[in-house]
Amino acid sequence: MGPKTQRVYETIRSWIESGRYGPGDKLPSERTLSAELEIGRTALRQALARLVNEHFIKAHDRSSYRVLVGDRAPTPTERDPWKIHGSRSVYENRWVHLDLVDVEPPGVQRFEHHVVRLFRVAVTAVIDDQDRVLMLWRYRFVPQQWGWELPGGIVDAGEDAATTAARETEEETGWRPGPVEHVVSYQPMIGMVDSPHEIFVARGAEKVGEPTDAEEAGDVAWVPLDHIPRLMSEGKLMGSGTLVALLHILADRARGAR
């Protein structure tokens, strides 16, 4: 999610949390929001999709949304955050930075905390009209195992995460996805690692050639969604981005079946 999309997400969320739009209220149309917030419709929909995923709003009709704040769990009162007195770099290269951060938790003596800083990544789950997901069978030397992964990669400086999601899918699989929709942002290891993840979903893809990223490419296959729970229980799905994206899809699928 780019800076402009993040700003719009925070603006609409603040409207809801401040009571400007209450439970059951209908938000302005996408056309109105796009003009008022000075953002394109595609980026606006990414912000709206995140609000839907976080249960602030619900899609009502085509391009129409209603507030669902009453259905959300209450947020506990925030307490004093840790104080950060400074930070020093221990090691860095083009892939990873290791810092020692001088922190002071409330009521605890200050100390230096190791923090690993990685670049933001985008991961994409592409679903076709046969309820199959586009995946890669890869070997990862760190856990020393083979497994299934979704395509994804590092968001380049100045690049929108949605652009990365589509580009990495095409480079790693040879399939060009349809429009990508942002569904969630998260951090996989919040205690010590700063590694922002952006998860996208696309419906449909066009075969445009062979994978062009030789280092990242693996065996490409369309895996039926019905096989995902078994692959998960067998430990054959690797990486938190893959798991988060597929769990989102399965949960969304289950809600649609009700």
pLDDT tens digits for range 228-242: 999 999 999 999 999
Residue 3 has pLDDT above 90, yes or no: no
CB atoms under 10 Å from CB of 170, counted, come to 20
Give the global pTM. 0.73
Q: What is the pLDDT of residues 50-73, one digit of tens each?
A: 888 888 888 766 567 888 856 555
The percent of residues above 90 in pLDDT, for the chain, comes to 56
What value does the mean pLDDT take over residues 199-204? 94
Mean pLDDT across the stretch 10-18?
87
Q: pLDDT, tens digit, for every residue of 243-255?
A: 999 999 998 888 6
Average pLDDT over residues 20-26: 85
More confident: 227 or 5:
227
pLDDT tens, 87-125?
A: 999 999 999 999 999 999 998 999 999 999 999 999 999
Are 236 and 147 in contact by the 8 Å Cβ rule? The answer is: yes
Spatial CA neighbour of 155 closest among 197, 189, 200, 205: 197
Count how many Cα atoms sit within 13 Å of the Cα of residue 26 in the half-sphere of its side chain. Answer: 9
pLDDT of residue 1: 58
What are the phi and psi torsion angles at 236 (to 5°)? -100, 5
What's the pLDDT at 67?
A: 87
pLDDT band at 256 (very low <50, low <70, confident <90, very high): low
Does the pLDDT at position 216 exceed 70?
A: no
Hey, how many other C-beta atoms are within 10 angstroms of the C-beta on 213?
A: 15
What tokens appear for 129 in the block? Answer: 């009209």
Q: What residue has token string 């076709």?
A: 128
Give the mean model confidence (pLDDT) for residues 128-147.
Answer: 94
Helices 41-53 and 3-17 pack at an angle, to 10 degrees, of 50
Residue 258 pLDDT: 47
pLDDT of residue 26: 87
The residues pairing with 127 across neighbouring beta strands, listed in sequence order, are 133, 203
Burial (CB count <10 Å: 0-12, 13-18, 19+), residue 251? exposed
What DSSP element (H or E) covers 116? strand 111-117
Residue among 186, 185, 168 at smallest CA distance from 177: 168
Helices (H), the chain: 3-17, 30-37, 41-53, 161-173, 228-233, 240-257
Give the pLDDT band (50/70/90) at residue 221.
Answer: very high
pLDDT at 236: 95
